[in-house]
Amino acid sequence: MKIKLIIVILIFCLLTKGKAYSQSIKISYHVGYDCSPEINGETMRGGCVTNEEMEYSLKKGGKYFESNKLELKREVRQYENGEFGKNIEADSSKVFHFSKKISSKKLDRLINYLKLVEGEFDDKAVSAGYFQKKAISKWDKNTFELNQKEILRIKKKAKEEHGDLNMDSLIQIITQYLNEENEGLLVSSVVEILNISFEHEKKKYSISQQNLGGANVSWQIEVDDKRYFVISPELNKMIAPFLANKMRAKKRIIQFLKIEGCVQLTVSSCFALT
Protein backbone atom coordinates (compact mmCIF):
# COMPACT_ATOMS: atom_id res chain seq x y z
CA MET A 1 0.00 0.00 0.00
CA LYS A 2 2.84 2.40 0.83
CA ILE A 3 4.48 1.75 -2.54
CA LYS A 4 1.19 2.48 -4.37
CA LEU A 5 0.77 5.70 -2.39
CA ILE A 6 4.29 6.83 -3.29
CA ILE A 7 3.63 6.09 -6.98
CA VAL A 8 0.38 8.10 -6.92
CA ILE A 9 2.19 11.05 -5.30
CA LEU A 10 5.00 10.90 -7.87
CA ILE A 11 2.52 10.85 -10.78
CA PHE A 12 0.67 13.82 -9.32
CA CYS A 13 3.92 15.75 -8.92
CA LEU A 14 4.90 15.06 -12.54
CA LEU A 15 1.49 16.15 -13.83
CA THR A 16 1.57 19.37 -11.85
CA LYS A 17 5.24 20.19 -12.37
CA GLY A 18 5.70 23.83 -13.31
CA LYS A 19 2.07 24.61 -12.43
CA ALA A 20 2.45 25.88 -8.88
CA TYR A 21 -0.92 27.59 -8.94
CA SER A 22 -2.51 29.47 -6.14
CA GLN A 23 -5.41 27.60 -4.61
CA SER A 24 -7.64 30.63 -5.20
CA ILE A 25 -8.17 33.72 -7.33
CA LYS A 26 -9.91 36.56 -5.49
CA ILE A 27 -11.84 39.27 -7.31
CA SER A 28 -13.37 42.36 -5.73
CA TYR A 29 -15.18 45.36 -7.17
CA HIS A 30 -15.76 48.45 -5.03
CA VAL A 31 -17.85 51.51 -5.88
CA GLY A 32 -18.36 54.42 -3.47
CA TYR A 33 -19.91 57.84 -4.01
CA ASP A 34 -21.61 60.74 -2.25
CA CYS A 35 -25.35 60.31 -1.81
CA SER A 36 -28.27 61.76 0.16
CA PRO A 37 -29.90 59.02 2.24
CA GLU A 38 -33.26 59.64 3.82
CA ILE A 39 -33.39 58.94 7.57
CA ASN A 40 -36.71 59.29 9.44
CA GLY A 41 -38.13 61.32 6.58
CA GLU A 42 -35.18 63.71 6.53
CA THR A 43 -32.57 63.88 3.75
CA MET A 44 -29.07 63.56 5.12
CA ARG A 45 -25.58 63.97 3.72
CA GLY A 46 -23.95 60.58 3.36
CA GLY A 47 -22.11 58.00 1.33
CA CYS A 48 -23.18 54.91 -0.62
CA VAL A 49 -20.85 51.95 -1.09
CA THR A 50 -21.29 48.72 -3.05
CA ASN A 51 -18.89 45.79 -2.79
CA GLU A 52 -18.95 42.74 -5.06
CA GLU A 53 -16.72 39.76 -4.34
CA MET A 54 -16.13 36.36 -5.92
CA GLU A 55 -13.45 33.71 -5.54
CA TYR A 56 -12.18 30.86 -7.72
CA SER A 57 -10.89 27.57 -6.31
CA LEU A 58 -8.50 25.22 -8.09
CA LYS A 59 -10.16 22.00 -9.33
CA LYS A 60 -9.31 18.75 -11.11
CA GLY A 61 -5.63 18.73 -10.22
CA GLY A 62 -5.02 22.15 -11.73
CA LYS A 63 -7.00 21.84 -14.98
CA TYR A 64 -9.37 24.67 -14.18
CA PHE A 65 -10.63 27.10 -11.54
CA GLU A 66 -14.26 27.22 -10.46
CA SER A 67 -16.43 29.84 -8.77
CA ASN A 68 -20.01 29.31 -7.65
CA LYS A 69 -21.16 32.53 -6.03
CA LEU A 70 -21.02 36.30 -6.18
CA GLU A 71 -21.49 38.19 -2.93
CA LEU A 72 -22.88 41.71 -3.11
CA LYS A 73 -23.17 44.10 -0.20
CA ARG A 74 -24.51 47.64 -0.26
CA GLU A 75 -24.00 50.18 2.52
CA VAL A 76 -25.62 53.58 2.98
CA ARG A 77 -24.17 55.68 5.77
CA GLN A 78 -24.87 59.16 7.09
CA TYR A 79 -21.89 61.52 7.25
CA GLU A 80 -21.93 63.65 10.39
CA ASN A 81 -19.34 65.31 12.63
CA GLY A 82 -16.49 64.23 10.37
CA GLU A 83 -17.33 60.52 10.28
CA PHE A 84 -19.74 57.99 8.78
CA GLY A 85 -22.40 56.37 10.92
CA LYS A 86 -23.83 52.85 10.85
CA ASN A 87 -25.20 51.21 7.73
CA ILE A 88 -28.89 52.12 7.44
CA GLU A 89 -29.51 49.33 4.91
CA ALA A 90 -29.18 46.37 7.24
CA ASP A 91 -30.57 43.80 4.78
CA SER A 92 -28.52 44.86 1.79
CA SER A 93 -26.44 41.70 1.28
CA LYS A 94 -27.18 39.40 -1.66
CA VAL A 95 -25.62 36.15 -2.88
CA PHE A 96 -25.92 35.05 -6.51
CA HIS A 97 -25.24 31.35 -7.14
CA PHE A 98 -23.87 30.06 -10.44
CA SER A 99 -21.19 27.77 -11.82
CA LYS A 100 -18.34 29.43 -13.69
CA LYS A 101 -15.17 27.64 -14.79
CA ILE A 102 -11.95 29.16 -16.05
CA SER A 103 -9.31 27.04 -17.76
CA SER A 104 -5.87 27.17 -16.17
CA LYS A 105 -4.59 28.12 -19.63
CA LYS A 106 -6.29 31.52 -19.26
CA LEU A 107 -4.40 32.08 -16.03
CA ASP A 108 -1.19 30.91 -17.74
CA ARG A 109 -1.72 33.55 -20.43
CA LEU A 110 -2.35 36.26 -17.83
CA ILE A 111 0.75 35.29 -15.83
CA ASN A 112 2.92 35.26 -18.97
CA TYR A 113 1.66 38.73 -19.77
CA LEU A 114 2.49 39.95 -16.27
CA LYS A 115 5.99 38.51 -16.67
CA LEU A 116 6.26 40.49 -19.90
CA VAL A 117 5.35 43.61 -17.94
CA GLU A 118 8.10 42.85 -15.42
CA GLY A 119 10.57 42.36 -18.25
CA GLU A 120 9.70 45.74 -19.78
CA PHE A 121 10.88 47.62 -16.70
CA ASP A 122 14.43 48.27 -15.63
CA ASP A 123 14.99 46.14 -12.53
CA LYS A 124 17.27 48.64 -10.87
CA ALA A 125 14.64 51.40 -11.23
CA VAL A 126 11.67 49.46 -9.90
CA SER A 127 11.10 49.20 -6.17
CA ALA A 128 8.28 49.45 -3.65
CA GLY A 129 6.36 52.68 -4.16
CA TYR A 130 8.03 53.43 -7.49
CA PHE A 131 5.57 54.56 -10.15
CA GLN A 132 6.02 54.40 -13.88
CA LYS A 133 3.42 54.35 -16.60
CA LYS A 134 4.27 52.73 -19.90
CA ALA A 135 2.37 51.42 -22.90
CA ILE A 136 3.54 47.89 -23.59
CA SER A 137 0.83 46.32 -25.74
CA LYS A 138 1.42 45.62 -29.39
CA TRP A 139 -2.08 46.65 -30.36
CA ASP A 140 -3.77 45.57 -33.56
CA LYS A 141 -7.20 45.81 -35.13
CA ASN A 142 -8.43 42.79 -33.15
CA THR A 143 -7.59 44.47 -29.86
CA PHE A 144 -10.09 47.18 -30.68
CA GLU A 145 -12.60 44.86 -32.37
CA LEU A 146 -12.79 47.08 -35.43
CA ASN A 147 -14.43 45.11 -38.21
CA GLN A 148 -13.08 45.24 -41.75
CA LYS A 149 -15.91 47.53 -42.88
CA GLU A 150 -15.02 50.09 -40.21
CA ILE A 151 -11.32 49.91 -41.04
CA LEU A 152 -12.01 50.41 -44.74
CA ARG A 153 -14.22 53.41 -43.93
CA ILE A 154 -11.44 55.05 -41.90
CA LYS A 155 -8.81 54.34 -44.55
CA LYS A 156 -11.07 55.62 -47.32
CA LYS A 157 -11.71 58.89 -45.47
CA ALA A 158 -8.01 59.36 -44.77
CA LYS A 159 -7.09 58.66 -48.39
CA GLU A 160 -9.64 61.15 -49.70
CA GLU A 161 -8.41 63.90 -47.39
CA HIS A 162 -4.73 63.24 -46.80
CA GLY A 163 -3.54 60.28 -48.81
CA ASP A 164 -3.47 56.58 -47.98
CA LEU A 165 -3.57 55.33 -44.38
CA ASN A 166 -2.17 51.85 -43.81
CA MET A 167 -2.84 49.58 -40.84
CA ASP A 168 0.38 50.58 -39.07
CA SER A 169 -0.67 54.24 -39.26
CA LEU A 170 -4.11 53.38 -37.92
CA ILE A 171 -2.63 51.50 -34.97
CA GLN A 172 -0.26 54.40 -34.29
CA ILE A 173 -3.17 56.86 -34.23
CA ILE A 174 -5.21 54.71 -31.84
CA THR A 175 -2.16 54.11 -29.65
CA GLN A 176 -1.45 57.84 -29.41
CA TYR A 177 -5.09 58.53 -28.60
CA LEU A 178 -5.23 56.02 -25.74
CA ASN A 179 -1.88 57.18 -24.36
CA GLU A 180 -3.14 60.76 -24.24
CA GLU A 181 -6.42 59.69 -22.64
CA ASN A 182 -4.58 57.77 -19.91
CA GLU A 183 -1.80 60.23 -19.16
CA GLY A 184 -3.53 62.32 -16.50
CA LEU A 185 -4.95 61.35 -13.12
CA LEU A 186 -8.73 61.21 -13.36
CA VAL A 187 -10.35 63.04 -10.47
CA SER A 188 -13.88 61.88 -9.74
CA SER A 189 -16.38 62.01 -6.91
CA VAL A 190 -16.94 58.30 -7.51
CA VAL A 191 -14.37 55.84 -6.13
CA GLU A 192 -14.32 52.71 -8.29
CA ILE A 193 -11.75 49.91 -7.99
CA LEU A 194 -11.53 46.44 -9.54
CA ASN A 195 -8.92 44.12 -8.04
CA ILE A 196 -7.77 40.59 -8.94
CA SER A 197 -5.27 38.82 -6.68
CA PHE A 198 -3.64 35.38 -6.60
CA GLU A 199 -0.34 33.61 -5.95
CA HIS A 200 1.83 31.77 -8.45
CA GLU A 201 5.21 30.12 -7.91
CA LYS A 202 5.53 31.78 -4.48
CA LYS A 203 4.88 35.24 -5.93
CA LYS A 204 1.92 37.40 -4.95
CA TYR A 205 0.13 39.16 -7.81
CA SER A 206 -2.38 41.99 -7.61
CA ILE A 207 -3.96 43.65 -10.65
CA SER A 208 -6.24 46.64 -10.25
CA GLN A 209 -7.94 49.34 -12.27
CA GLN A 210 -9.73 52.50 -11.14
CA ASN A 211 -12.57 54.41 -12.82
CA LEU A 212 -13.44 51.65 -15.28
CA GLY A 213 -14.90 52.21 -18.72
CA GLY A 214 -14.50 54.66 -21.57
CA ALA A 215 -10.96 54.95 -22.87
CA ASN A 216 -9.44 54.02 -19.51
CA VAL A 217 -7.01 51.12 -19.95
CA SER A 218 -4.56 52.01 -17.17
CA TRP A 219 -3.65 49.18 -14.79
CA GLN A 220 -1.68 48.97 -11.57
CA ILE A 221 0.21 45.70 -11.24
CA GLU A 222 1.88 44.57 -8.03
CA VAL A 223 4.26 41.63 -7.91
CA ASP A 224 5.38 41.07 -4.32
CA ASP A 225 6.89 44.43 -3.30
CA LYS A 226 7.19 45.84 -6.82
CA ARG A 227 4.61 48.08 -8.43
CA TYR A 228 4.07 48.89 -12.10
CA PHE A 229 1.66 51.17 -13.94
CA VAL A 230 0.88 50.22 -17.53
CA ILE A 231 -1.51 51.26 -20.26
CA SER A 232 -2.87 48.06 -21.76
CA PRO A 233 -6.24 47.36 -23.39
CA GLU A 234 -5.02 43.78 -23.78
CA LEU A 235 -5.29 43.34 -20.00
CA ASN A 236 -8.93 44.43 -20.14
CA LYS A 237 -9.63 41.62 -22.58
CA MET A 238 -7.69 39.03 -20.58
CA ILE A 239 -9.42 39.80 -17.30
CA ALA A 240 -13.00 40.15 -18.58
CA PRO A 241 -13.56 36.34 -18.83
CA PHE A 242 -12.73 35.93 -15.13
CA LEU A 243 -15.63 38.18 -14.08
CA ALA A 244 -19.14 36.85 -13.46
CA ASN A 245 -21.74 38.14 -15.90
CA LYS A 246 -23.66 39.69 -13.02
CA MET A 247 -20.68 41.84 -12.03
CA ARG A 248 -21.09 45.39 -13.24
CA ALA A 249 -17.31 45.55 -13.56
CA LYS A 250 -17.40 43.10 -16.49
CA LYS A 251 -19.42 45.44 -18.65
CA ARG A 252 -17.35 48.39 -17.51
CA ILE A 253 -13.88 47.11 -18.40
CA ILE A 254 -14.83 46.21 -21.99
CA GLN A 255 -16.39 49.58 -22.70
CA PHE A 256 -13.10 50.72 -24.18
CA LEU A 257 -14.18 48.70 -27.23
CA LYS A 258 -16.85 51.36 -27.75
CA ILE A 259 -14.81 54.46 -27.18
CA GLU A 260 -17.07 57.51 -27.27
CA GLY A 261 -14.61 60.00 -28.60
CA CYS A 262 -12.42 60.83 -31.53
CA VAL A 263 -9.04 59.65 -32.65
CA GLN A 264 -7.65 62.67 -34.45
CA LEU A 265 -6.38 62.19 -37.98
CA THR A 266 -5.68 65.89 -38.47
CA VAL A 267 -6.59 69.07 -36.64
CA SER A 268 -9.87 69.23 -38.51
CA SER A 269 -11.00 65.64 -38.78
CA CYS A 270 -11.48 62.68 -36.46
CA PHE A 271 -13.41 59.43 -36.25
CA ALA A 272 -15.21 57.62 -33.44
CA LEU A 273 -14.64 53.98 -32.54
CA THR A 274 -18.01 52.23 -32.24
Neighbours of 240 (CB within 10 A): 16
- pLDDT score, position 52: 95
- pLDDT score, position 265: 39
SS3 151: helix
pTM as predicted: 0.74
- pLDDT score, position 99: 92
Helices and strands (DSSP H and E) totals, the chain: 6, 14
- pLDDT score, position 151: 60
- pLDDT score, position 13: 41
- pLDDT score, position 79: 77
SS3 232: coil
Distance between CA 13 and CA 44 in Å, rounded?
Answer: 60
Residues whose CB falls within 8 Å of the CB of residue 149, separated by 6 or more in sequence, listed in order: none
- pLDDT score, position 62: 80
- pLDDT score, position 71: 94
Distance between CA 246 and CA 116 in Å, rounded?
Answer: 31
- pLDDT score, position 190: 83
- pLDDT score, position 199: 92
pLDDT per position in the chain (274 positions), as tens?
A: 444 444 333 333 434 444 555 679 999 999 988 888 776 777 878 888 899 999 999 988 888 899 999 999 988 888 777 777 777 777 778 999 999 999 999 999 999 888 888 887 755 444 544 456 776 665 555 555 555 666 666 667 667 766 666 666 766 777 777 777 787 766 667 889 999 999 998 899 999 999 888 788 889 999 998 888 888 888 888 899 999 999 989 988 887 766 544 444 332 333 333 3
- pLDDT score, position 272: 36
